[in-house]
Amino acid sequence: MILSKTIRSVRLALQSAARPVVLVPTMGGLHGGHRDLIVLARRRAGAKGTVVVSIFVNPTQFGPKEDFSKYPRTPASDFSLCEAAGADIIFSPSPEGMYFPDRSVFVDESVLSLPLCGKSRPGHFRGVCTVVAKLFHIVQPDEAVFGEKDWQQLAVIRQMVRDLNFPVKIVPHPTVREADGLALSSRNVYLTPEQRAVAPRINKILRECAASGASPSSAAKSARARIDKIPDAKVDYVEAVHPDTLQPAVARPARLVAAVFLGKPRLIDNVSMKSPRRKVPAKR
Ligand code: PAF
């Protein structure tokens, strides 16, 4: 496995790399969810292709009052996880290496970025799109793998790729969960034992409400009311949205999406609200 810390060295490493090149963009603090993304990337690249994992805590996607400086940075264990999962190249640049101090060009997705996390984290998706566009230019992957836990991010990146004609196939990976249902997240390490014990209730409530047969808006309303009762929980949003447009869902299929502060950490999760099964008439 090659570790590249500069754009120059990763480009050099990629000159002789076999295609397909599959990129897994991350911010480090890697856990089992990232491992599964890298394993999927390995499968997509095949034995001969190249798997690149970028590890970069991207300052431009954090707001001034957010946890940029406290975001977990665990390079040694990140590198072992990448190696064990089958990565060929780690690209781990410094902020100074990635951004010019007088930068003035950004990538701004202007519709899907507005609701949900975009409301409470203004500028977040501009930072995400800008860094992902830069990574795509630097690595020039054939495919890039993103987790479905960040449903809005996935929708925004897909839109950017479509609208700006990036020759990159976006490959989604289902959310990876602990046995009790909690979505894996780098921020879970900040939960106190008490918060960790109640955190899986968020997913349980989302699943139960999604399966209840209620309309999307009623399901979201009752999920919000129930999550609000979890000790230490402060709901940022719980909404039922159209899976692609992220507009409030009027019918199924929809996505029940939530962001919840559990103490300090802000957890996000989402589940599918499938269309009701059509009754097939019994054969005579
Ligand atoms: O999902 C993340 O970890 C980040 O938003 C990403 C896509 C690596 C961009 O910094």
Q: Is the CB of 26 under 6 A from ligand 1?
A: yes
pTM for this entry: 0.96
Query: Which is the closest atom of ligand 1 to the Cα of 150?
Result: 1
pLDDT for position 275? 82
How does pLDDT run across 108-133, given as a tens digit for each residue?
999 999 999 999 999 999 999 999 99
- Interhelix angle 7-15/124-139, rounded to 10 degrees, is 40
Exposed, middle or buried by CB within 10 Å (0-12, 13-18, 19+), for 70? exposed
State how beta strands 233-241 and 254-262 pair. Answer: antiparallel
pLDDT for position 135? 99
Smallest CA-to-CA distance from 15 within 139, 158, 194 is with: 139
User: 25 C-alpha to center of ligand 1: Å?
Assistant: 6
Q: Burial letters for 169-178: b for 16+ Cβ neighbours within 10 Å, e otherwise?
A: ebbebebbbb
* CA distance linking residue 185 with residue 150, whole number of Å: 10
pLDDT for position 10? 98
**Regions in the chain scoring below 50 on pLDDT:** none
- Helix or strand or coil: residue 270? strand
* CA distance linking residue 24 with residue 176, whole number of Å: 15
pLDDT for position 281? 72
DSSP secondary structure code for residue 107 in this structure: -
pLDDT for position 142? 98
Q: Give me the sign of the Cα torsion angle 196, 197, 199, 200.
A: positive
In 47-190, which ranges are continuous DSSP H helix? 75-85, 95-98, 117-120, 124-139, 151-163
Q: Is-catalytic flag, 31?
A: no
pLDDT for position 66? 93
Q: Is the CB of 157 under 6 A from ligand 1?
A: no
Strand order in the sheet with 254-262: 233-241, 254-262, 266-273
Q: Residue 133: which H helix or E strand, with range?
A: helix 124-139
* CA distance linking residue 4 with residue 23, whole number of Å: 14
pLDDT for position 279? 67
Q: Do the Cβ atoms of 135 and 11 come closer than 8 Å?
A: no
Q: Is the CB of 27 under 6 A from ligand 1?
A: yes
Best mutation site among 58, 92, 117, 126 for ligand 1 pocket (most ligand atoms within 8 Å of CB): 58
